[in-house]
Each structure stands twice: as C-alpha cells, then as structure tokens.
C-alpha cells in the first residue's frame, strides 16, 4: 500500500482544532474533497494535517486538526496555501458545503511530551483510501474533551490531569493521544479567525474501536478521579466532549498506525 512516512518526532508545537458546521448532507462531499485535494497540498507549505474526523453525535460537523512549528511558520504556511493555486481552484466547492468555519481553538502542548506523536503513523494514498466505504468504521474512535478553565487554574488542573487522570485512562484501555492548552499568542493570520478569550485544557483520547470505546467508557465514567475533572471547581463551564471517527486519510486514528 502506498503510504507517507512521518518523521520521528512529536508533531506541532502549535495546533488548531477546527470544527466546521456544514450544510445538511454535505459532510461526505467535503471529506472527499478535503482528503483528495487539501492534505498533501497543505503539508507542502510546511504545516501538518494531523487528523480529519466525522463527529459521531453531530452529522453536520466536520472536525480536523492541523499543526505548525511555531506562530511565524503558521503565518507563512497559511499565507502560502490560501494564496496558492489549489485553494483558488477548490475554495468555492469547499465553501459551498459550509455554514460556519470560524469555530477554531489555537492550542499548544500542555507539557513537553504531550503533543501528538505521529512518528509511527502512515497515511494511505488517495487511491487506496478511496476503496474504503465512506461510512465504514475505520477501527478507531478519538474522543476530545475540552475543559473550560477559570483564570489562573491552568497549572493545577494540568498537573492533576497528568498525575491522576492519565493513569486511570491507561488502566481502562484508553490511550492519551495528546493534551493541550490555549495558545494565547496573537493570531498571525487574521484572515482566519480563532476563538479569543478562551482558557481551555484539551485532551485527545484514543480507543481501538467502537466496542472498545463502549467498554472503556463505563469504568472511566465511574472513576472518581475522572469524575472530579468533570465537575471541578476549576471549570468555568461544562466540558465539551467530541466523539470522532477518523476519515480514511486521517493520521490520528488507530487505523493509521504502522
């Protein structure tokens, strides 16, 4: 199978989590266009397309992650891509599927080793990925939890998550794929808005498949340590939980592990 090998390093000190609200019935149209036209062409500018997902609970939501080496590299890469010929050719088709594309969180790893490790992941080539049924389960579930924190609570919440929650996840068959917090640097590409005034801690957790997700979820939900995070006084508002299924060409997802 033709694949693209990843470098042996943690990916992307700067990460965008992008949630797109789409017009009814347009998600598969956007996924097909994205996976065919917007993966290698974005990465050619210096960014990393980390993962593309169907939201399992919101049929008109497309969620994806991309990363950059730093904020200046982000500016340069986005300028090159959105000013280049590929986006010019396909932007009308992409934008025609969307209602809103401004729900974007700008993030950084919560501790030095908390970024996404893509070194052993391989992305199928377009032709091979196209053989997958567009609605088929690809063997993995990624669950992203967005914890909205009170000001000044970032360090304590992060340390408790690292020391208390991470062992509970591992003990119940879940894998911490990455942990992030708000990147507060000024948006270096204002043409694409990001959510401002946010103070979040985000975890991305991987499960082998839907059955594994279901089996792990019950003990995780009952774990006193993890329940404490859901109702912590450090939270400014309820935690958002995204249950995501990777597309055929998503790097982040169990099916893409070499």
Q: What is the pLDDT of residues 183-195, one digit of tens each?
A: 999 999 999 999 9
Structure confidence at residue 207 (pLDDT)? 85
Band (218; pLDDT cuts 50, 70, 90): low
> Please, which pLDDT band fits residue 1 given cuts at 50, 70 and 90?
very low
Is residue 223's pLDDT more than 80?
A: no
| pLDDT value of position 170 | 84
Q: What is the pLDDT of residues 48-92, one digit of tens each?
A: 999 999 999 999 999 999 999 999 999 999 999 999 999 999 999
What pLDDT score was predicted for residue 138?
47
Examine the pLDDT at 107 and tell me if it is beyond 80. Answer: yes
The domain containing residue 222 runs over which residues? 3-256
Residue 239 has pLDDT above 80, yes or no: yes
The arithmetic mean of pLDDT across residues 200-229, rounded, is: 72
Mean pLDDT of the chain: 87
- Show contacts of 23-29: CB within 8 Å, 24+ apart: 23/60, 23/96, 23/97, 23/98, 23/99, 24/60, 26/60, 26/96, 26/97, 26/98, 27/54, 27/59, 27/60, 27/61, 27/62, 27/97, 28/134, 28/135, 29/97
Rounded to an integer, the average pLDDT of 97-110 is 98
Q: What is the pLDDT of residue 121?
A: 83
Q: Give the pLDDT score at 210.
A: 66
**Does residue 6 register a pLDDT over 90?**
no
Number of domains in the chain: 1
Kindly report, residue by residue over 156-205, the tens digit of the pLDDT: 999 999 998 888 888 877 889 999 999 999 999 999 999 999 999 999 99
Q: Determine the pLDDT at residue 214.
A: 58
Indicate if the pLDDT at residue 134 is higher than 50: no
| CA–CA separation, 35 and 134 (whole Å) | 11
**For residue 30, what are the CA distances in angstroms to 16, 42, 58, 94?**
19, 16, 15, 6
Top pLDDT among 242 and 4 is at 242
CATH number of the domain at 79, please.
Answer: 3.30.70.100
């Amino acid at each position: 199978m033709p694949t693209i090998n990843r470098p042996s390093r943690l990916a992307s000190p700067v990460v965008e989590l992008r949630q797109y609200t789409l017009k009814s019935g347009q998600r598969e149209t956007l996924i097909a266009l994205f996976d065919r036209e917007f993966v290698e062409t974005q990465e050619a500018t210096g960014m990393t397309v980390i993962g593309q997902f169907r939201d399992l609970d919101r049929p008109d939501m497309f969620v994806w992650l991309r990363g950059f080496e730093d904020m200046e590299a982000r500016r340069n890469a986005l300028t090159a891509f959105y000013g280049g010929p590929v986006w010019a050719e396909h932007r009308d088709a992409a934008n025609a599927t969307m209602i809103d594309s401004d729900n974007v969180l700008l993030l950084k790893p919560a501790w030095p080793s908390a970024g996404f490790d893509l070194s052993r992941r391989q992305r199928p080539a377009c032709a091979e990925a196209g053989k997958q049924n567009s609605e088929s389960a690809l063997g993995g579930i990624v669950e992203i939890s967005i914890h909205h924190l009170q000001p000044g609570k970032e360090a304590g919440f992060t340390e408790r998550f690292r020391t208390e929650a991470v062992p509970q996840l591992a003990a119940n068959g879940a894998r911490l794929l990455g942990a992030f917090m708000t990147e507060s640097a000024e948006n270096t590409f204002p043409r694409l808005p990001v959510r401002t005034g946010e103070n979040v801690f985000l975890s991305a957790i991987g499960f082998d498949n839907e059955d594994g997700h279901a089996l792990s979820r019950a003990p995780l939900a009952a774990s006193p340590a993890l329940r404490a995070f859901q109702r912590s006084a450090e939270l400014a508002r309820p935690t958002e939980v995204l249950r995501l299924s990777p597309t055929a060409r998503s790097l982040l997802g169990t099916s893409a592990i070499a």
